[in-house]
Amino acid sequence: MSEKVSINPNIDETWKEVLKEEFQSEYFKSLKMFLLEERKKHMIFPPASKIFAALNLTPFDKVKVVIIGQDPYHGEKQANGLCFSVSNGVSNPPSLQNIFKELHTDVGIPTPKYGDLEPWARQGVLLLNATLTVRANQPGSHQKQGWENFTDAIIRKLSEERQGLVFLLWGRFAQAKEVLIDQSKHHILKAPHPSPFSVHSGFFGCKHFSKTNEFLRKEGLKEIDWRIE
C-alpha cells in the first residue's frame, strides 16, 4: 500500500528518451499524485514494479507488433503489466482463453496452460493497456486520470518514428486509436474484442497471428513465435 510511483520511473532507457517530455508534463505529475493518494487508501494493480512492464520488456527500437488493451485486470494477482496477460498460476480470463482458441485455429499452436504473454513481449510484441493501473475490483477506476495521454503518446511516437509496425486493434476501444497511426507507414489489423460478448462476431476466424507474420516477412523481419511454453 505504501509503494511509491516515481515521477521519473525505472523504465527502459529507449522509452525514457522517447517519452521524456511526457514524464516532465503537468498531466504526468498530476497522475503521480493521484496514484500516491490511491495507494494510501486502496489496493492497486498491477504492483508498482510491473506498471511499466510492457515498456521494459519491449524496448522502443525492438517493437514490431502492438496489441492495445483497455484496463489491467482488477482481480487479485491477475495483472502483470501486459495487456490480456496474467501471471503463471492464475486462471486464464475468458478473453485470454478466446485469444488462445484463435491462436490454435489460426496457426495450430496447442492451447497454453499458462497465460503469461512475456515470451511475446520479449520478441517485440508491445502489449499496451491504455490505462496502466486500476483499483482492486473496480474496473475503469483509473481511467481519465492521465494514463490515456501517456499511452496515446506512446502510440504516436511509434507511428512517427518507426516504420512497418503491425497494430492489432481488437474491439471499438482499441480501434479508436487508429487515428494516432500513420497508415501509409504501418499495417493495421482490426477485429472485434475477444471477450465472450463479441468474440463470435468476427474475432474467431480473424487469423491475425498468421497475418501479422505475413506482414513481418514482407518487412524483412523475423516472425513472432506465438508459443507461450
Residue recorded with cell 488462445: 100
Catalytic status, residue 182: no
Neighbouring residues of 7: CB distance < 8 A, sequence distance ≥ 6: 23, 28, 29, 32
Backbone angles phi, psi at 128, to 5 degrees: -105, 115
The set of cell numbers assigned to 72 is 489491467
CA–CA separation, 197 vs 186, rounded Å? 29
Considering Cα of 69, then 138, then 73, then 2, what sign does the dihedral take? positive
Q: Annotated catalytic residue: which of 71, 106, 116, 152?
A: 71
Enumerate the active-site residues: 71
